[in-house]
Structure 1
Amino acid sequence: MEIYTYIVLFLLGICIGSFLNVVIYRVPLNKSIISPPSSCPACDQKIKPWHNIPILGWLILKGKCANCGAKISIRYPIIEFLTGLLAVAIYYKMQTIDIFYLVNFAIFATLLALSMIDFDYKAVPDSLNLLALTLAFFSSADIIENFKNALLMMGGMSLIRFYVSYLIKKEAMGEGDIIVAGTMGAVLGIKLSLIAIFLAAVLAIIPSLYNRFANKDIELPFIPFLAMGMFLAWFFDSYFLELWSKLYG
């Protein structure tokens, strides 16, 4: 029966991933995520229901609009696939489907959406960012502790932001990053949050260098790396906490 649970969760996950694609496209443009129905951005033709099937729809259409032939980004099925993987991975970690599973899945799914928006706009909507933070308070039964850890992480990141911005004479960190730090604190606790930020910095090194020298751009969206670092720290929490104990006692 376990394999069927994973299959069902993956299928549900890719359906939610399809909805995330709508969120990623419409929220930054201040459009409704409910109506009108999905349509081709190039010709405005409504997408038929069978063309909107997660992953399969893109494959059936061969990555092109059925009406005008405009290219449909491969990012759509990738987001759907990643959301399906998230649903499976979170269940694998928690081994139960309860309210905390749903909340944690919603948090990481929202962070996935924020990551894609940050790549597109180098800014994220407060509505989604604050949604992830609010959900994070309820990621476990200890709501007060989660809230306290969120405040500590946001305060710490704000302090670093002020000092570094003063030293380098320009904005060192976005407000969105600070809110994500609060989400980290609530979900992970302080130790794992610090590990997550370290992982994010390591993951960002090569993309940052590439972006600087290949694209001549010194600004790299950091929320995607914070989200990846947070997920890794959450998923492998036992390993990282054991490593922390060995290093710092």
Structure 2
Amino acid sequence: MENCIIYIFLFLLGICVGSFLNVLIYRLPLNKSIISPPSSCPNCNTKIKPWHNIPIFSWIFLKGKCAYCKEKISIRYPIIEFLTGILAVLIYLKMKNIDIFYFTTFATFSGLLALAIIDIDYKAVPDNLNLLVLALSIFHSPNILENFKNALLVIGGMSIIRWYLSYFIKKEAMGEGDLIIGGVMGAMLGINLSLIAIFISAILAIIPSIYFLLQKKEPELPFIPFLALGTFIVWYFSNFFNSYWSSLYA
């Protein structure tokens, strides 16, 4: 019963954070303040009432439409809120404790979620949010100096790969935003698991790449969503991946 209450509390906390992520995702790329003005309908510009802005539930009660002009509200908003709520619960299931490191870890992965969506929309991410997520990742555990060192090493390694690839393919092989996410991976996972996470991210990216190839399209495929997902998968199942890594050298 006690665990059930904790799960409900964390899920509700998570969807509230998800609502804030929606604000970041919409406003940061447009260089708008995340504080003011208050949320309003993009179509009719009417200020949204507090009871029309309850995460997930308001979207359901309003049937996915603005309460005033009846313009459709994207289903992406409640999906992001729901995912953030699930994220809050999953991180607790992994860490089995609610302390300062739980909140820095949750903030890091929430930030990665926001960056992933922004990268999908704009094929670029704001440096202020990216650097904030990197800073949070360094403080996700008591081993702050080790996390910082690992972040620098992964950023350095990915930078070298970027230079060589860019030289041979004659175009930018990796964005600066990807390098900063590499630092987040290093801080969260360490060197060994970061290599596994990068490999998994590349495998995940192959699927849409093949689809676009079959469709004879050549879009600029955003890589941060795959890096973020790969990081979370390896972090959540770190015991398994650590055992696998050890078995390679047994």
Q: Same fold (TM over 0.5)?
A: yes
Whole-angstrom distance in 1 between the partners of 2:78 and 2:3:
25
Q: How does 1:1-249 map to 2 (within 5 A)?
A: 1-214=2-215, 216-249=217-250
Specify the code of the residue in structure 2 equivalent to 1:106.
Answer: A
Whole-angstrom distance in 1 between the partners of 2:168 and 2:27:
37
1:211–1:220 CA contact under 8 A, matched in 2: no
Specify the code of the residue in structure 1 equivalent to 2:133.
Answer: A
1:233–1:240 CA contact under 8 A, matched in 2: yes
Specify the code of the residue in structure 2 equivalent to 1:108.
Answer: F
1:122–1:221 CA contact under 8 A, matched in 2: yes
Deviations 1:26-70 (A, max 9, x none): 010010111111111111111111111100111111111111121
* C-alpha spacing 1:129/1:3, structure 2 compared with 1 (3 Å): same
Cα distance, 1:215 vs. partner? 7.2
1:196–1:233 CA contact under 8 A, matched in 2: yes
Cα distance, 1:129 vs. partner? 0.5
* C-alpha spacing 1:157/1:15, structure 2 compared with 1 (3 Å): same
Identity %: 69
TM-score, normalisation: structure 2? 0.97
> Which runs of 5 or more residues in structure 2 are unaligned?
none
Specify the code of the residue in structure 2 equivalent to 1:49.
Answer: P
Deviations 1:3-22 (A, max 9, x none): 11001000010011001000
**RMSD of aligned alpha carbons:** 1.0
Runs of 4+ in 1 over 4 A off after TM superposition: none
Cα distance, 1:213 vs. partner? 3.6
Q: 196-205 vs 173-182, which deviates more?
A: 196-205
Aligned-partner SS, 2:24:
helix
Count how many residue pairs are aligned between Structure 1 and Structure 2. Answer: 249
